[in-house]
Structure formats: structure tokens, C-alpha cells
Amino acid sequence: MDFGADISLLWITVFVLTGFFAGYIDAIAGGGGMIQVPMLLFSGIAPIHVLASNKVASVVGVLMATIKYAWSKKINYKVVAVAIIPCLIASYIGTKLVMYLSEETIQWMILIAIPIAMLFLFKKSKTIVEVHREKSKKNIILATAPIGFYDGLLGPGTGTYMTISMKKFLQLDYLMATASTKPLNFATNVGSVIAFVLAGKVLWLVAIPMGLANVLGSYVGSHYAIKGGEAFIKKVLVFVLVLMLVGNIIKIVVS
């Protein structure tokens, strides 16, 4: 078990601030990993420890957001109940497949996924007449399982894509879509956390303070999402997608 005892106090402080901001953003629109992972890598921590520590910090933040949204009765449990197993299976298949892809291919796939998400974000929704038909079990699975597959295959922005997909294909408003994404995101992440912990890849001196900050950020973020409603959430979704787009372009150019 690696506690990361050689991490300086300055970096721990940076990780705490990063964790809070990531938790805040993730609770509203997803994409917290796009904030935490680059900062962890910038500190010089080995990539495998970065992924493990980020996942532990993120999963407790997502759990807090799930509890907060559940307490406020914003989660659509029908969607969650139907989607959770297909998402888990799809995530597993995606994880198995990604082992056969090159890093360059993965980077380009992530980059291409972002403008597609933007297109759906700004595409006009279907009329209210179609709402009940859109919530069949088949359509719930079609709207969520591919995102679960993406989570296992690539990962970054899963919560963001799931929220947009639920809004566009299931006709949930952005608040309920965001809320319903959280338990699914939590479930798909638990397996990864268990694997990383058992393998001893988590730097606990990093993961614990960052995770606590993530929890606080998630609490504040979900509070403002509930208060601000659909217009506020859509603005944050746009911010996250632009952040992801810029970050991935820089990564490709630098590499």
C-alpha cells in the first residue's frame, strides 16, 4: 500500500483546491476528471497512480452528489433501474476493448466525441408529445448503455455525455438528467476503485484530501444545480465541453 509520503504540503494544498473545483463542476455537468487528472499528472505522479487516486477521489464525490440529488427527489429511479446493469456490462466491454487501441487512437476518439456532444447539446429537443414513448426500456438502454461503453473505453466526460443523452433521447430536463446520471456514474466507477485499491495503486495521501474536497465541492455544486435549474446546468455543460476540447487539442499538439 502506497501512502505517497513524499508528496509535498504545497501539492496537497493544490490537490485539495483542484478536488473542490472538480467536485463542484462534476456534480453539475460531469467532467471532473478532466480537471483532476491533468493537475495530478502535472505534479509528476506516475500515470497509474494518477488514475487510481483520481478514481477514488471522484467516486466519493459522485456518491455525495447522488445522495444530495436523491434527498431532493430529482433522480428518475425508473431510468436508473433499467440502465444500471446494461451500463455496467457495456463499461466492462469498453475496458476490454481499449487494451487493443493505441494511445493516439484513443486521443483522437475523445477529441471527435466532444463536438458530437456539442451538436446534441444545441440540437432542438423533440416535442413534449413524444415524452412518454421515449421512456420505454429499450430507449433508456439505447440512451445510456453506449455512454457506459464509452466510460470503459475512454472515460473523460462520461457524466457530461450521459446528461446530454438523457436530455435529448429520454426527454428528461437537464436537472433530472444530471441527477439520474450520478448513481449510474457511481456504479460504473466502483469496479475500477476496487481493482485499483486491491492492486495497491492508490496514493492515499493524495486521494483522501482530494476526495474530501471533492465531496464538499459535489455538495455545493449539486446545491447550485438544484437552485439554478436547467439554464444554469446548460451553461456549465458548455463550459465543460469547451474545456475538454481545448485540453485534448493541447494534449495532441504537445505529444
- Residue 13 lies inside a defined structural domain of this protein: yes
Residue 32: the pLDDT is: 85
- Residue 160 lies inside a defined structural domain of this protein: yes
- Residue 1 lies inside a defined structural domain of this protein: no
- Listed as own residue / partner, the contacts of 11-18 with beta carbons closer than 8 Å and 24 or more positions apart are 11/43, 12/205, 12/206, 12/209, 14/39, 14/43, 15/39, 15/40, 15/43, 15/206, 15/209, 15/210, 15/213, 16/209, 16/210, 16/212, 16/213, 17/213, 18/210, 18/213
- Residue 101 lies inside a defined structural domain of this protein: yes
Count of domains forming the chain: 1
- Residue 163 lies inside a defined structural domain of this protein: yes
Residue 107 has pLDDT above 70, yes or no: no
**pLDDT per residue over 7-49, tens digit each?**
888 999 999 999 999 999 989 988 888 788 888 888 888 888 8
Residue 92: the pLDDT is: 84
- Residue 124 lies inside a defined structural domain of this protein: yes
- Residue 2 lies inside a defined structural domain of this protein: no
Residue 209 sits in which domain range? Answer: 9-254
Global confidence as pTM? 0.79
- Residue 3 lies inside a defined structural domain of this protein: no
Residue 4: the pLDDT is: 58
